[in-house]
Structure 1
């Protein structure tokens, strides 16, 4: 099997793929990037937690103009995963209002991003319809 690497450090590929977040031990706020202090309460202690892989679409936009080489249209959304907001693309469904709606149930999925000259595959993530 070829080597696979996650596109972002908070995507875990081992076992069942999932996301991890830094959770403030004082107030429970969650962040995907590294923090020196919590933006919500100024706490300075964090623990790493797994983010649920199922979620609900809270907001979205259909992107029809993008950088050269990026296929359009695509759906960019905000997914509520058990109280953690995740910004990600909605994939594996047509990018139109007949197939994408606020409140739809989604689940995390991985997507290939590219392969380098050594055969190492970069893997990203998105959310697809749960049904």
Structure 2
């Protein structure tokens, strides 16, 4: 069996992959990075919160220049997942203005982004269009 590991600690793999945020127990703000205090209200108590796996694209850009080794063009965007903003690439869509639109429905998708010498797969995530 192939071993897989997430490339970020907020990606939960398994039968139903999803993202997990740190949710402020006082105001409900959500963050993917570790916090000592909430940027919204200053509280210091957080809980793990599963983020919705479907959302809508709220903003995007088509990236045409990147560091060597990064294939371009690609779509970088912000997805509203039931109130939680997620920055991610939009994958499995042609990176052209005719194929990407604000408000398009997307779902979380995982993919292998690298394999080490022992065969362990590093899993990344993006969001792909939901077929209507």
TM-score class, shorter-chain normalisation, is over 0.9
Q: Displacement, 1:119?
A: 0.4
Number of the residue aligned with 2:96:
96
Q: For 1:36-115, what aligned pairs fall within 5 Å after superposition?
A: 36-115=36-115
Q: Displacement, 1:15?
A: 2.0
Root mean square deviation of aligned Cα: 0.5
Q: Distance in 2 between matches of 1:129 and 1:69?
A: 25
Give the aligned length.
131
- TM-score (norm. length: structure 1): 0.99
Q: Distance in 1 between matches of 2:16 and 2:7?
A: 16
Kindly report structure 1 stretches of 4+ aligned residues shifted beyond 4 Å: none
Q: Distance in 1 between matches of 2:9 and 2:120?
A: 16
- Could you report, residue by residue, the CA deviation over 1:44-80 in whole angstroms, capped at 9, with x for unpaired residues? 0000010000000000000000010000000000000
Number of the residue aligned with 2:130:
130
Any stretches of 5+ residues in structure 1 without a counterpart?
none
Number of the residue aligned with 1:12:
12
Any stretches of 5+ residues in structure 2 without a counterpart?
none
Q: Displacement, 1:113?
A: 0.5
- Could you report, residue by residue, the CA deviation over 1:89-124 in whole angstroms, capped at 9, with x for unpaired residues? 000010001110000000000021100000000000
